[in-house]
Every structure is written in structure tokens, then in C-alpha cells.
Amino acid sequence: MRLFIVRHGESISNTQGRMMSSTDLPLTEKGVRQAQAAMEYLQGNIYGYVYSSPLIRAKQTAAIISGKETGMVIRDELREMNLGRCEGLTWKERYEFYGDIDCEHNLPQAAFPEGEDYADVFARCKAFVMNDLAQIDKDASALVVAHGITIRVLINCIMGKPDHCVNYINWPDNTAITEIDWRADCKILVRLNDMGHLTASGLMAPKYDIWGAFSKTDYLTV
């Protein structure tokens, strides 16, 4: 199976630098263009299966990339980690009020007050892998559109690496692409957070190297 995992395009909260999980916001115009750029970048792929988080920013992105308005499979397991009391805070405010929550460098220990912890997200991702992805025909291709933290956990879950290795997966920029060649005897990470379509079209998020590329360890080597 060829599996493509993509983060949703830019939403309004991304432009404000706010942390959003369950708040349901649509794509911005830039987010639509990012999804279109991803679609063109992946042109030629026919997705036998299309999975999306139930949030509108993910469903819009999945529809644009796949060209399918219908037939999309919505899975609650693909929702973003529930941020609880951190919902709507700016990243600066999160550091100020909840500085002990480090979802970049120590995600397995992250627990959001009145929200979810890492174990909750991992359990959701594992259920999705077992109940959906593992059942797909080996010759098929699948597109999965979800959210930043969930994608990091999902990738690490699929690859079967220890929990701490999730800390070596950088934040995926909006519509960053990860591709996994899922074979009967192994899973090969073909590309991780590929942003070629974003750099080519000038659609990357501002200052990604500062906020997004936090890990200095190459995930492929761990």
C-alpha cells in the first residue's frame, strides 16, 4: 500500500498563532492554495481510500487533494489532540501559563488540563491503524488528512518505533506530505514532512525554521 499522510491546509487559527484542536475553523484562501499545490504535487495518484478527521479544515483539504467530494471516510480517531484549557491560547501564552507541557520535545509526557494526554492520542491512532489501514489491500493507495500532533503520533505508531521517537518528528507545515510504502513484511518511510510544493510556490508558513523544525535528530536514523 502507498500511504500518504497530509496535514490540513492553513486555517484562521494558524494565521493568529493560536493553538486549536476541537474548534472547527475552515481553510483560509492560502490554505486552499496549499491544498491545490499538494494535489498538483501528487498528481497521478489515484486514492482508493480517503480518510479525514471530522473537522472542516481537514475535510476541505482531503476533498481538494483527492478530488472527491463524496466517498470520504470520516474518522474521529484522526481528530487533533484535545488541548483542553489550552484551546485558543497563543503559543506564547501556553509557554507562560503551562510551561510544563512540552508537546515538541517531550510529547509522550504531554497532558493538557481538561483535555487529552499522549496515551489517549496513541490509543486513537492505534485503533485507526488496526481497524482501517491494516485492512487495506496491499496494492491500493490511501490518503489520510489529519492534524499536527495526531500526525506525529500516527507516523510513529505505524512505523512501530518507541514512544520517545515521536519527539524527533518535526511539526508538519500545512499540507506537508509523509509517504509510507506499507509492505507485507515491512514499512518504508519514503518521505517525511515533504514541503517541496510549499517552497516551490512560496506557500510555507512564516518562520517555519524557528517554530517548526525543533528536532535536531533525524527521525530516519533512530
Average pLDDT value for residue range 192-211: 95
Q: State the average pLDDT for the chain.
A: 95
SS (H, E, C) 59-119: HHHHHHHHCCCCCCEECHHHCCCCCHHHCCCEHHHHHHHCCCCCCCCCHHHCECCCCCEHH
Q: Which of 101, 75, 109, 119 is nearest to 19 (CA)?
A: 101
Sign of the C-alpha dihedral, residues 131, 162, 54, 41?
negative
Please give the single-letter amino acid code of residue 33.
Answer: R
How far, in Å, CA of 222 to CA of 216, rounded? 12
3-state secondary structure of 9: coil
Torsion of CA 122, 63, 46, 76, to 10 degrees: 20
pLDDT the model gives residue 29: 97
Average pLDDT over residues 49-61: 97
To the nearest 10 degrees (0 to 180), the angle between helices 56-66 and 29-41 is 40
Q: CA nearest 133: which of 64, 166, 42, 124?
A: 124
Query: In which residue are the cell numbers 491494516 written?
Result: 134
Does position 185 have pLDDT exceeding 80, yes or no? yes
Is pLDDT at 211 greater than 80 in this prediction? Answer: yes
Mean predicted confidence (pLDDT) in 128-141? 95
Q: Report how far residue 187's alpha carbon sits from residue 184's, in angstroms, rounded to the nearest whole number.
A: 8
Query: Is residue 124 a contact partner of residue 146, using CB atoms and an 8 Å limit?
Result: no
Q: In terms of Cα–Cα distance, which of 69, 71, 75 is closest to 5?
A: 75
Residue 155 host element (H or E): helix 148-159
Q: Which percentage of the chain shows pLDDT scores above 70?
A: 100
pLDDT of 53 reads 98
pLDDT tens for each residue of 72-125: 999 999 999 999 999 999 988 988 999 999 999 999 999 999 999 999 999 999
Give the Cα separation of 218 and 222 in Å (integer): 7
